[in-house]
Structure 1
Amino acid sequence: MKERQSRRNFLKTGSFAVTAGALSATSLSSCCNDDKKKVAKPGQTPNTKFAVNIEIWWSDLPVLERIDKTAELGFPAIEFWSTDGKDLDAMAAKCKELGLTICQFTAWGFNPGMNNPENHDLFEEKIKETIAIAKKLNCKKATVVGGDDQESMTQEEMHANIITALKRVKPLIEEAGLMLILEPMNIRVDHKGHCLYGSEPALRICREVDSPMVKINWDLYHMHITEGDLCGHLNEGFDQVGYIQVADHPGRKEPGTGEIYYPRVLKELKKLGYTGCVGLECWPLEDELTAAQRVFEADNW
């Protein structure tokens, strides 16, 4: 999300490069390249449809070239953060030309907070704009964020305000067929000062709003850091899963570089009946081709 790009840039270039886990980049490369058979188009994964986050992958290239690169690797879809500064018509045309799906983008970020009623008029206007943008992009989902902590408000009050905001736009998104996916964060590593983290409060909010068009952006990286037991929590809350994102921990790199055993988790998702895209909101540890090979291996269970 645009509001957190400075934080994301730190993770990409700062101390996390040193603490990305017990395996060095050299040993990981050896594991990936020597012991596993490379495939020509690793984005053509056997079980799961992955969406490349084009804000992160090939970030030094123009946006349309990032979309080309996604297709070259065989991935079927993309996701991205803010629409600001992007040629949306060109992106839509490029994705149509290449047969790629735009799975989701960010409609509402950290500030101003949806958790403050003073911002609810603006939130409604932004969702109206998002509906029009999503139609242009032929995109069915958009991420919304609860907001950073509001001074003098309890967490319960902030969560109640999120419910109010989502109920307010509920008729709009249901008529448009646009799903808002609410993303809980983690406060241990990335988002100290944010009001919503973990599956439990997100489930309470979505079940209270009670709409097929309000679900959770279930980012497994955040969930792992916040609560663990990824498969158990997915089973308990699967009725409210709207979208899945992945990254390994520590380091927020691709699956296969950290402590999460993604073959088991991806297998559980398929068992539960998840057929949507899984967003690769992770920074390639070495390069995009090697990252794509690791994603293929994680899904080749």
Structure 2
Amino acid sequence: MTELPGRTPHTPIAVNIEMWFEGDFVSRIEQAAALGFPAIELWTWRDKDLAAGGEALRKHGMTATQFTAWGFGQQVNHPDFPVQDFVAEIEAACAAAALLPGCEMMTVVGGDNIPGLSKEQMHAALIEKLRAAVPVLEAKRKMVILEPMNPYNHPGHCLYGSADGVAICQAVNSPWVRLNWDLFHMQRYEGNLIDNLEMHREWIGYVQFADSPGRNEPSTGEVNYSEVFKRCRELMLPVPFGAECLPLGGDARRAAERLYQVDLASA
């Protein structure tokens, strides 16, 4: 097995340092570098020394792809949530992204169901916030990637699957708002991965993956990731892809080796 299994032969990978490693921000970057990964992704940013992390990434010739600008906290999908508060947070996230080499995207999570509101009302509120953030995104040259979830891992959420995710992007109508197309969530919610990738390719800003149903690395579940990776490359989807998966048994090196073999077979 290669000494640097994170240096996959065909599909560049951004390893999710929150799920793969332990320690502070810089330590996790060092662990990713030791496995050969060319890029990382992360979740929260306010709890990290981004300047130190950016320096560590540059030292190893690595980049960051994206982080979570808006997670499961305040309900951005509530009509009464102030638009200006959301826009201000996106502006702060753009400044944070500028500290990390290569970081041009940030994930937004749509929010859980709100009692008394229909899905249509919640989506309309989300569309309003995203539209308001577009001038900031355009000025800063950053992209929001909206992430649909799945009801098994995230019950009671307001946004599942490709159809609703694409409809929201269409309503926002900006090249600065696309989807974080997490293949794990898409498999659990609707399956038919390759056809849906082909149908909705123009709305995909970023691809994440984990095998289903355990959310571990490829080759540990039901998805033929060699074929999926191959088709993703043929569709010229943006790379790196995000390895938002839990190493089986907590063994990061073994997970990277499995990922390397899956990608090798995708030629």
Same topology, TM > 0.5: yes
- 2:123 aligned partner: 159
CA distance in 1, matches of 2:145, 2:153: 19
Aligned pair partner of 2:28 in 66, 81, 84: 66
Aligned pair partner of 2:104 in 131, 137, 140: 140
How do 1:1-301 residues align onto structure 2 when only pairs under 5 Å count?
A: 38-59=1-22, 61-119=23-81, 120-138=83-101, 139-187=103-151, 189-286=152-249, 287-300=251-264, 301=266
- 1:13 aligned partner: none
Task: Report how far residue 84 of structure 1 moved.
Answer: 2.5
Count of equivalent residues: 262
CA distance in 2, matches of 1:78, 1:89: 15
The alignment partner of 1:151 has SS state of coil
Please give the per-residue CA displacement for 1:117-155, whole angstroms capped at 9, x wherever unaligned.
Answer: 322222111011111111122310000011111121100
**In 2, are the aligned partners of 1:117 and 1:165 still within 8 Å (CA)?**
no
The alignment partner of 1:181 has SS state of strand
Q: Which amino acid aligns with 2:237?
A: Y
The alignment partner of 1:86 has SS state of coil
Q: Which amino acid aligns with 1:143?
A: T
Please report the RMSD computed on the Cα atoms of aligned residues, expressed in angstroms. 1.0
Q: Which amino acid aligns with 2:109?
A: V
**In 2, are the aligned partners of 1:111 and 1:148 still within 8 Å (CA)?**
no
CA distance in 1, matches of 2:87, 2:187: 32
TM-score normalized by the length of structure 2 = 0.96
Q: Which amino acid aligns with 1:298?
A: V
CA distance in 1, matches of 2:179, 2:246: 22
**In 2, are the aligned partners of 1:183 and 1:219 still within 8 Å (CA)?**
yes
The alignment partner of 1:291 has SS state of helix
Please give the per-residue CA displacement for 1:31-71, whole angstroms capped at 9, x wherever unaligned.
Answer: xxxxxxx1111111111110111111122x23211111111
Task: Report how far residue 111 of structure 1 moved.
Answer: 2.1
The alignment partner of 2:20 has SS state of coil
**Structure 1 runs of 4+ with >6 Å offset:** none
TM-score normalized by the length of structure 1 = 0.85
**In 2, are the aligned partners of 1:220 and 1:245 still within 8 Å (CA)?**
yes
CA distance in 1, matches of 2:99, 2:3: 32
User: Which runs of 5 or more residues in structure 1 are unaligned?
Assistant: 1-37
